[in-house]
Amino acid sequence: MATIVLPAAGGRLAPFRTSRPRAFARPTRPFDRIAFSAAHVVCDPLADVDPWLVPAIDWDATLRFRSHLWSLGLGVAEAMDTAQRGMGLDWPTSLELIRRSVALSRAEGGRLVACGAGTDHLAPGPGVGIDEVVAAYEEQCGAVEAAGGRIILMASRALAAAARSPDDYHRVYGRILRQVREPVIIHWLGEMFDPALEGYWGSRDHWKATDACVEAIAANAAKVDGIKVSLLDKDKEIVLRRRLPAGVRMYSGDDFNYPELIEGDALGHSHALLGIFDAIAPAASAALDALAGGDVAAYRDILAPTVPLSRHVFRAPTRFYKTGVVFMAYLNGLQSHFAMVGGQQGARSLLHLAELFRLADAAGLLADPDEACARMRRVLAVHGVDG
């Protein structure tokens, strides 16, 4: 197999020999878990824009990636934080992405897709109150429904800034949920993903916040398909999962503990809505297929090596995980370059990317090690390293 020189701790350079990639079987049956992959966007590096200020999307490459996910049996969670929502991707571009993805899902025979609706076009500030937050949610929810999309109700920075108690969250979610046409997936994104969301549901104590969240869901259960929880704490997810009203699903957003949470226990399991599934899609698909066939040992064997990779990609500052997700797509030939909306390819160090390369290899996720090494060398060269 190919050998490459990679940066290591202490400013050293060390040779690394790649291993044989793992052969992940294509799905042979419907999964018995609902599995969404939050999907990244591919930027257009040739667009004449200032990347920090204006998002430029390569629509063909972005939509090809969605077809890739669907071909593996995964649903697409569109225009979420993995697509750099709130970190380079603005609402007008997000809406265009939603329209295009929904149209493609229909053209491909009705593929599973759900779309983020939030308030990110409304800047938090002293003059922004609860009514303004509701109006912002209404605008985006209406736009997603007009596009034919299913709604993922995203957490709101404006609401986190304006709310004074859990009652304010109940007011906002109650007013929005009463209006939506179909049940939505609520997204509780923790402050480790977005510091502006600290104190969501009216408390910095996650256990008290859970109480408020459960109350809001219970009051509107008929309009809630499920909740995606991104707190990177399996115990908090399990507690909330067991408290949900009958018929309301838990969608795991725990990129640290997803194998255990999706497998579940005697009292239930989580479905999946995960950013890491973007990076490990072939493994996720094969594992879910094995689980649906009753082969729990194979499920565990496939996903266990992906956990160190995921924990590295999502390590603090967690909000920069998108860099690792896009880097994986680049290494595996799913896009032609390693450039990102907002210039976020620079959000992680070269050492971080080198360790990601090693961990991806250990998980068998470098589909073509020779090509992955060639692509890694290009990144090394930009940083003045001869790989």
Output the DSSP codes for 22-75: P-PPPP-S--SS-EEEE----B-TTSSS-TTTS--B-HHHHHHHHHHHHHTT-E
Task: For residue 12, give the nearest of 376, 362, 299, 350 by alpha carbon.
Answer: 350
Residues 180-195: tens digit of each pLDDT: 999 999 999 999 999 9
Residue spans of beta strands (DSSP E) within the chain? 3-8, 12-17, 35-38, 75-78, 113-117, 151-153, 184-189, 224-230, 249-252, 271-274
Task: For residue 88, give the nearest of 140, 38, 21, 43 by alpha carbon.
Answer: 43
- In this prediction, residues 117-123 reach a mean pLDDT of 98
Contacts of 141 (CB under 8 A, 6+ apart): 117, 151, 153, 176, 179, 180
* pLDDT score of 387: 67
Q: Is the pLDDT of residue 385 over 80?
A: yes
Domains and CATH numbers, the chain: 26-304 (3.20.20.70)
Please state the pTM of the whole predicted model: 0.97
Contacts of 299 (CB under 8 A, 6+ apart): 259, 263, 287, 288, 290, 291
Backbone angle region of 259, left / alpha / beta, with phi > 0 → left and psi within -120 to 50 → alpha: alpha
Residues 4-42: tens digit of each pLDDT: 999 999 889 999 999 999 999 999 999 999 999 999 999
Which residues make beta-bridge pairs with 77? 38, 114
* pLDDT score of 101: 98
SS3 content of the chain, % helix, strand, coil (to 5): 50, 15, 35
- In this prediction, residues 78-97 reach a mean pLDDT of 97
Residue 149 DSSP one-character state: P
* pLDDT score of 386: 84
Whole-number Å distance between alpha carbons of 253 and 275:
8
Q: What is the distance, to the nearest Å, from the Cα of residue 308 to the centroid of all Cα atoms in its chain? A: 17
Residues 346-361: tens digit of each pLDDT: 999 999 999 999 999 9
Backbone angle region of 294, left / alpha / beta, with phi > 0 → left and psi within -120 to 50 → alpha: left
